[in-house]
Amino acid sequence: MLLYGKELAERIIGHVKAEAEGLGIAPRLGIVVVGDYQPSQVYVKKKMETAKRAGIEAELFHLPHNSEEKEVLALVQKLNRDGKIDGFIVQLPLPPHISPDKVIEAIDPRKDVDGFHPSNMGKVLLNLKDEVFEPATPSGIMRLIEHYKIPVSGANAVIVGRSNIVGKPIAVMLLHGDATVTVCHSKTRNLPEHTKRADILVVAAGKPFFIKPDMVKEGAYVIDVGTTRVEVEAGNGKPKTSKVVGDVDPKVQEKANVSPVPGGVGPLTVAMLLQNTLKAAKMRKKAGK
């Protein structure tokens, strides 16, 4: 079975739109981009297009690549104070001379709709549900797991990758669902020994087709988070083209249930960001601002 996320994401977007209409104010999302990193431009375009469909007004704040860290921090402070912006994100990666940690820490946690601020991460760790913004990709994965009624309690969940935005928070969320969680990374010894025990395997390593069929248990649920753009031969002497591929070899689909790339986790990430933006707008309305 393939674990599709696209249709579910459309359903979430439909709910966000209906709720946004009922609010009487259009939720507003700010997107800060520093520089012209090409993949970020693609992701941001997608976020802006999808926001529009969800009844959310998205505004782009673009700074040049050579902006100083203090200029980025000044924009973050301005957006923190801007009464018309419900929530905003700073698109990562930032140019190397700017500290993402400093920039993320400067965001008002009540506007941190990416859920990357230490305060929101801390609430995720403590399983505090009130006024928290959960990071979009892991909460999208949890929605996918719920949608397909994948049993979590007591399951062996193995995560490959320990990033702050995917690996660590999804490990914590699965732990809160009573899974027995193992987190693997580049220093893990004998990785297949761990992955073969997984009832639920979440792969976020950014290594195309890294997980092979002999690393996966028959019938396991495999969530492929990886997205890497690779060049492909067009044939007939035509110029090469490119496509986005996941971390899981497509042959794994013959023995396990896999979320496809594209069409699996990606659309859910955007949908959850918009759901967080709606939540921020509701919080602002409740506070009478």
Binding region for ligand NAP (CB under 6 A)? 137, 160-163, 165-167, 184-188, 191, 204-207, 225-228, 265-266, 269
What are the two backbone dihedrals, phi and then psi, of residue 160, each rounded to the nearest 5 degrees? Answer: -105, 110
Q: 119: number of CA atoms within 13 Å, CB side?
A: 14
What are the two backbone dihedrals, phi and then psi, of residue 194, each rounded to the nearest 5 degrees? Answer: -80, -50
**Which C-beta is closer to ligand NAP: that of 56 or that of 245?**
245
Active site residue 91: yes
**Which C-beta is closer to ligand NAP: that of 171 or that of 184?**
184
State the Cα–Cα distance between residues 265 and 274, nearest whole angstrom. 15
What b/e string do you get for 40-57 counting C-beta neighbours within 10 Å, with b at 16 or more? beebbeebbebbeebbbb
Tell me the closest approach of the beta carbon of residue 210 to ligand NAP, in angstroms: 7
Tell me the closest approach of the beta carbon of residue 82 to ligand NAP, in angstroms: 27
Catalytic residue among 86, 112, 114, 247: 114
Total residues belonging to the chain: 289
Catalytic residue among 86, 91, 168, 199: 91
- In 127-202, where does DSSP find H-type helix? 136-147, 167-176, 191-195
**Which C-beta is closer to ligand NAP: that of 114 or that of 284?**
114
**Which C-beta is closer to ligand NAP: that of 72 or that of 184?**
184
Tell me the closest approach of the beta carbon of residue 158 to ligand NAP, in angstroms: 11
Tell me the closest approach of the beta carbon of residue 287 to ligand NAP, in angstroms: 30
Q: How many CB atoms lie within 10 A of CB 169?
A: 26
Tell me the closest approach of the beta carbon of residue 264 to ligand NAP, in angstroms: 8
**Which C-beta is closer to ligand NAP: that of 165 or that of 281?**
165
Q: How many CB atoms lie within 10 A of CB 194?
A: 19
Q: Which residues contact 200 (CB under 8 A, 6 or more apart)?
A: 145, 150, 152, 155, 156, 157, 158, 174, 179, 220, 221, 223
Nearest by Cα to 51 from 83, 88, 77: 88
> What 8-state DSSP symbol labels residue 215?
G
Active site residue 47: yes
Active-site residues: which are they? 47, 91, 114
